[in-house]
Each structure stands twice: as C-alpha cells, then as structure tokens.
C-alpha cells in the first residue's frame, strides 16, 4: 500500500513511446492496439465527474484560454469506427478458475469462458446451450474436460462441437453432429496475462489472430516489473468510465482523503484544486494523444487509456536524471463496454521499483484501497450518466459547460466519440437506449458481486476471514462455557479471570472482524459531506 499511496507523479519516470523500438511503437500505437489495466489507487491518472451545467450556452470559439471547441463541426463523410473489428479483454488470467466456466458480457454479447484442458487453452463460446438456451456459464467441466450444460447434460468441445446428447439413443441417428447442436465459438487468445476475444464468430475471423493481434504491453511480460492487476464491474457506462479516468481535476474533491495530490502554492480551498494545463495534440479515428504537463497520454479505442511521463522534458539535476533512468512506471486502464449503464474496468500499474512490496503484501489489501476510490465517485457518475442520457449523448457539447483546460481530455474524448462513433457505443439494436433503473445505494455500490466473486485473491481472503470470525465466536462461547461449568475451587481466580478476558476479547475481535469484512468486501459508503 505504501507504494500505491505514496505515488508522486512529479518524481516517477513512466516509459514513453520514445523509449520503445520503432516496430513496437508502430504495432501498438499506430494500429490502435495497446492495453493493460491499472490501479486506481494511483494519484496521477484518475477518475472524474463531469462538471455539468445544463443551462449555459455552448462554447463556440476556441482560444488560448479554452481547451478545445466545445461543439465541433464534424464532416459527414468522416470515417466510422467499427466497434466489432477490435479485440476486447475479458479478464486477467490470474482471476479465472480453470475448474469452472465463467460468464461475461461485452458489447451486450453474453459469452462463457472456460479452460479446455484437452487443448490447453482458454475457450470463449456463446453463453447459451443450443438445446434450450440455458446458460453454459452455470454448467461444469466434465471428467473428460468438456463443457457440460447442467440443464440436460449436453457436452461441447473447444471448437463448440456437440460431443454428447444423453437423451439421444446410442443406436439412433447421430443428432449431436448436426450444426444446430453446436455452440458458436469466438476467436480468443491470451496476451500479457489477459484473455482477449474477437466479438464475431463468422468463419472469416477464425484466424484473425494471424492478421491482427491484441495490444501488447512489454512491461507486463518483463520479470523486472511488478504488475498487480485488478478488475471490477461498474454501475455506469463505458463512456462515463473512460472520460472519468481522463479527468485529473476531480481527484482532490471526489477522492478527498484517499489520494495524495500536488499542493498548489496558493490554496483557494481546503482540497487544493488548481488550474491544469491539459491539451489534445492529435485526434483521428485511432484515438488521440494528449499532453498533461507532467505526462503524456494516449486514448486507443475502444478500450485503452494509457498514461506515461514525457521523456522529452529535461531532468533538473544529475540525481533526477539517475532516478528517472532507473524508475519506470505506467498507468494502463482497460475500459470494457458491457451494456448500457454497465462497464468493466481492468487496471494495472507496472513498475520496476518497489517490487518487493507486492511479494509480501497480499493483492487483496491493495484492492481494498482501490475499491474505496472507485466507490467514492461511483454514485456521482451513475447519476451524471442518467442526466446525460436524458438530454441525449449527442447533445453533450451543448449541455455541459467545460470552459477550462482541465477538461481538455474529456472534450477530446467526446469529440472523438461524436465524430467517429456516432456519439455512443454501437449495440447493434440489442437495447432500446434506456438505462437500467437506479438500485438502492447499497446495491449500487456493492463490492461482493462486482469485484470479490471475480477476484481470486479477494474471494479467498473473504472466505478465510469469515472462518476466523466464526472461530473467534466459538472461542468466546467455549471460554464462557468452561468458566460456567467449572466448580468453585477447581479453577484459580486468575485462570477464571483469564478465561473471561479471553471470551470478551474473542467476542470483541469477532465483532470488529465482522465489521471489517462487511466494510471492505460487501459495502462501504463514502459520505463526501463528512470528509
């Protein structure tokens, strides 16, 4: 946790595109293929809420004091972004259990992820049995390593071929060989310890991996780097998630007390907000590059927001030069569109210093802090998205008053979305456009179903801590029971008092642990008014 909360953007060196081989830069940055998730506990690239005002008129002119034209005029013949011609991340491999299938949704597509031990690879299929459309993600892996639907026992191999229909007579026609008995299989691959899939089962994409690969992050394959990953399902949409990560100005306010931020020379308020010099450098269908002052950043659609320090800035001293040459760090966020009002975040913060910390501190402890940061602006963003949908995503530039350079990256993203993607994700008619209703706050900010069940380390910690809580309760009851049944004189006063003290202490610890488990693995509200 020390390395996470002590992160200082001004002193760390994050690898830049200038430090990578030309061939690598070409394949990653120019072909729009980079990814890797990053820890939200880091204080540099962060989350945001849009500072919206529905009444002010839109900005019509850009000037030296304004980040970018608020309502740009886009050419009608602009090239259109194809949401279904890109690799999408499903999950970090470290959080997938080979013993069971996993259900995931991306772009409104329900898929089942399972380990095919016969082929030694992860498979991604449609999450619907062709028999009666039961979810295969609620099935099991049978003794022969096949994916089994537990509704009627139909079994499938890694290619999606049906290998068994128990209800079919063995001496009858081989109905399991019919194409109608097969389940659609998606192209998939593992890269940088993340499972990716191509959202199209058409046969022409069967070998898409030979023509186009998922983004590659060399730090994630470098043994000298630490690379803790995390994932969480978010109760607001993909568009709001990405623009939130592009907005460092909200950090002192929405995450007050959770993340350290540079202090201005003159404080205008308690939180220490200050003007930020952000600007978009280039923008086209492949995303955009931006200057954040202390760092550079890239948006590589559809999923990646990548932040790194600017190596062109001269070091101020020999010591700084030595430090910057040795310490390397990157912020990589992978934002996955799930469905309207739902998204998934995978994060990672590869670094080549402080590696020992991650070897001795359990991953779930880092996730406790990261989840609290996510929770601290989750409700703000959920409500904000509802308002954006009410006014219409294409009217964002008219409804939101964004006059300062601190909003430059958010404006750049909204400009890209409007120009190349029609202002929103292409769901291909799966949804009406309406958002799901707002659930109770405790359900909206739930941690268990959105993270713990999908994180191997947090799930293990949750179960272990619950066992310890029960053991403490047993010790407390047993200690009182022993004192109660022992006759006077058979136990000294000192031992009796010790047993009573043990009972009280065990009960107190069990109550404290129950509160800790609920607060960190179930639900923990963040009340901004009392921070």
At residue 74 the predicted structure's pLDDT band, cuts being 50, 70 and 90, is low
Alpha helices in 12-68 (DSSP H): 22-25
489: pLDDT strictly greater than 70: no
Looking at residue 77, what is its pLDDT? 61
Mean predicted confidence (pLDDT) in 88-101 = 96
109: which strand partners? 106
- Is the residue at 295 inside a domain? yes
Residues 250 and 368 grouped into a single domain: yes
For the chain, percent of residues with pLDDT exceeding 70: 82
Concatenated DSSP letters of 358-424 = HHHS-HHHHHHHHHHHHHHTHHHHHHHHHHHHHH-GGGHHHH----SGGGHHHHHHHHHHHHHHTTS
Q: In the predicted model, what is the mean pLDDT of the chain? A: 83
Looking at residue 528, what is its pLDDT? 87
- Is the residue at 451 inside a domain? no
Q: How far apart are CA 50 and CA 307, in angstroms?
A: 20
30: pLDDT strictly greater than 60: no
Give the H or E element holding residue 355. helix 355-360
Give the H or E element holding residue 164. strand 162-164
Looking at residue 22, what is its pLDDT? 38
Half-sphere exposure of 436 (CA within 13 A, CB side): 14
Least confident of 36-40, 196-200, 425-429, 455-459: 36-40
From residue 274, how far is each of 188, 277, 283 by CA, in Å? 45, 10, 26
Residue of 46 and 394 predicted with greater confidence: 394
pTM of the model: 0.81
Looking at residue 25, what is its pLDDT? 35
For 111-144, the pLDDT digits (tens) are: 999 999 999 999 999 999 999 999 999 999 999 9
At residue 65 the predicted structure's pLDDT band, cuts being 50, 70 and 90, is very low
Residue of 311 and 400 predicted with greater confidence: 400
Q: How far apart are CA 228 and CA 328, in angstroms?
A: 15
- Is the residue at 319 inside a domain? no
Looking at residue 369, what is its pLDDT? 92
- Is the residue at 78 inside a domain? no
CATH code for position 356 = 3.90.380.10
291: which strand partners? 279, 296
Q: Which residues contact 301 (CB under 8 A, 6 or more apart)?
A: 32, 81, 86, 286, 287, 416, 420, 421
> Torsions phi, psi of 380, nearest 5?
-55, -45
Concatenated DSSP letters of 277-330 = --EEEEEETTEEEEE-SSEEEEEETTTEEEEEE-TTSPPSSHHHHHHHHH--B-
Residues 419 and 480 grouped into a single domain: no
Q: How far apart are CA 415 and CA 417, in angstroms?
A: 5
Looking at residue 292, what is its pLDDT? 83
Residues 424 and 477 grouped into a single domain: no
67: pLDDT strictly greater than 80: no
Give the H or E element holding residue 479. helix 456-485
- Here the tokens at position 221 are 């394959």
Looking at residue 310, what is its pLDDT? 60
515: pLDDT strictly greater than 60: yes
Count of domains for the chain:
3
Residues 377 and 516 grouped into a single domain: no
Residues 419 and 495 grouped into a single domain: no
For 338-397, the pLDDT digits (tens) are: 999 999 999 998 888 888 898 899 999 999 999 999 999 999 999 999 999 999 888 898
Angle at 87 between CA 81 and CA 92, to 5 degrees: 140
Residues 192 and 120 grouped into a single domain: yes
- Here the tokens at position 467 are 């066992």
User: For residues 342 and 235, is the Cβ–Cβ distance under 8 A?
Assistant: yes
Looking at residue 326, what is its pLDDT? 67
CATH code for position 97 = 2.102.10.10
82: pLDDT strictly greater than 90: yes
190: which strand partners? 195
231: pLDDT strictly greater than 80: yes
- Is the residue at 189 inside a domain? yes
> Torsions phi, psi of 496, nearest 5?
-60, -45
Residue 226 CB neighbours (<10 A): 20
Q: How far apart are CA 46 and CA 144, in angstroms?
A: 46
- Is the residue at 63 inside a domain? no
Residues 244 and 109 grouped into a single domain: no
At residue 433 the predicted structure's pLDDT band, cuts being 50, 70 and 90, is confident
- Is the residue at 46 inside a domain? no
- What does the DSSP 8-state code read for residue 491? B
Residue 423 CB neighbours (<10 A): 16
Residues 390 and 344 grouped into a single domain: yes
Residues 288 and 188 grouped into a single domain: no
From residue 342, how far is each of 193, 339, 470, 521 by CA, in Å? 24, 5, 35, 20
Concatenated DSSP letters of 220-268 = GG-TTSB--EEEEEESS-HHHHHHHHT-GGGHHHHTTTTS--PPPSS-S
The segment with the largest mean pLDDT, out of 215-224, 314-323, 477-486, is: 477-486
Residues 180 and 237 grouped into a single domain: no
- Is the residue at 203 inside a domain? yes
From residue 413, how far is each of 240, 280, 304, 354 by CA, in Å? 10, 10, 12, 33
For 188-229, the pLDDT digits (tens) are: 999 999 999 999 999 999 999 999 998 888 878 888 888 899
Residues 273 and 414 grouped into a single domain: yes
Residues 116 and 226 grouped into a single domain: no
324: pLDDT strictly greater than 80: no
Q: How many residues does the chain have?
A: 531
Mean predicted confidence (pLDDT) in 236-249 = 95
For 255-307, the pLDDT digits (tens) are: 998 888 888 888 899 988 888 999 999 999 999 999 987 788 999 999 999 88
Instruction: Give the pairing type, strands 162-164 and 155-156.
Output: antiparallel
Looking at residue 161, what is its pLDDT? 97
Give the domain range for residue 333: 218-312+327-436
């Amino acid at each position: 946790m020390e390395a996470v909360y002590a992160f200082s953007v001004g002193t760390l060196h994050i690898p830049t595109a200038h430090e990578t081989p030309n061939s690598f830069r070409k394949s990653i940055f120019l072909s729009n293929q980079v990814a890797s998730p990053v820890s939200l506990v880091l204080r540099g690239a962060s989350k945001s809420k849009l500072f919206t005002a529905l009444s002010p008129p839109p900005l019509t002119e850009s000037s030296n004091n304004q980040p970018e034209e608020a309502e740009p005029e886009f050419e009608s013949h602009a090239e259109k972004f194809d949401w279904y011609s890109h690799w999408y991340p499903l999950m970090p491999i470290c959080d997938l259990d080979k013993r069971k299938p996993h259900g995931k949704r991306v772009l409104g597509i329900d898929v089942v992820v399972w380990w095919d031990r016969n082929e030694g690879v992860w498979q991604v299929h449609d999450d619907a049995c062709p028999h009666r459309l039961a979810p295969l993600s609620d099935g099991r892996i049978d003794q022969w390593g096949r994916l089994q639907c537990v509704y009627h026992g139909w079994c499938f191999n890694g290619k999606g071929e049906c290998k068994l229909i128990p209800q079919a007579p063995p001496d009858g026609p081989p109905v399991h060989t019919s194409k109608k008995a097969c389940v659609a299989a998606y192209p998939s691959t593992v890269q940088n310890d993340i499972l990716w899939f191509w959202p199209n089962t058409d046969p022409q994409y069967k070998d898409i991996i030979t023509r186009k690969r998922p983004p590659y992050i060399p730090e994630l394959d470098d043994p000298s780097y630490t690379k803790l990953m995390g994932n969480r399902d978010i109760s607001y949409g993909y568009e709001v998630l990405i623009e939130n990560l592009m907005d460092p100005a909200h950090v002192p306010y929405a995450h007050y007390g959770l993340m350290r931020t540079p202090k201005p020379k003159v404080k205008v308020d308690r939180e220490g907000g200050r003007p930020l010099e952000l600007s978009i450098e280039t923008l086209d269908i492949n995303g955009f590059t931006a200057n954040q002052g202390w760092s550079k950043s890239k948006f590589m659609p559809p999923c990646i927001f990548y932040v790194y320090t600017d190596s062109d800035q001269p070091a101020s001293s020999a010591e700084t030069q030595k430090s910057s040459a040795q310490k390397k760090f990157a912020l990589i966020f992978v934002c996955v569109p799930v469905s309207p009002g739902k998204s998934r975040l995978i994060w990672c913060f590869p670094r080549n210093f402080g590696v020992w910390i991650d070897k001795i501190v359990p991953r779930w402890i880092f996730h406790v802090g990261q989840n609290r940061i996510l929770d601290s602006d989750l409700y703000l963003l959920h409500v904000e998205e509802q308002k954006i949908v009410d006014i219409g995503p294409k009217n964002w530039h008219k409804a939101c008053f964004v006059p300062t350079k601190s909003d430059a990256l958010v404006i750049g993203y909204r400009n890209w979305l409007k120009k190349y993607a029609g202002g929103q994700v292409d769901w291909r008619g799966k949804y009406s456009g309406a958002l799901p209703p707002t659930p109770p706050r405790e359900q909206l900010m739930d941690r268990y179903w959105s993270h713990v069940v999908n994180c191997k380390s947090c799930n293990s910690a949750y179960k272990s801590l619950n066992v310890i809580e029960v053991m403490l309760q047993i010790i407390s009851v047993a200690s009182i029971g022993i004192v109660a049944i022992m006759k006077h004189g058979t136990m000294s006063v000192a031992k009796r008092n010790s047993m009573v003290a043990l009972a009280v202490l065990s009960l107190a610890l069990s109550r404290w642990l129950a509160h800790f488990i609920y607060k960190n693995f179930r639900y923990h509200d963040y009340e901004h008014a009392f921070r």
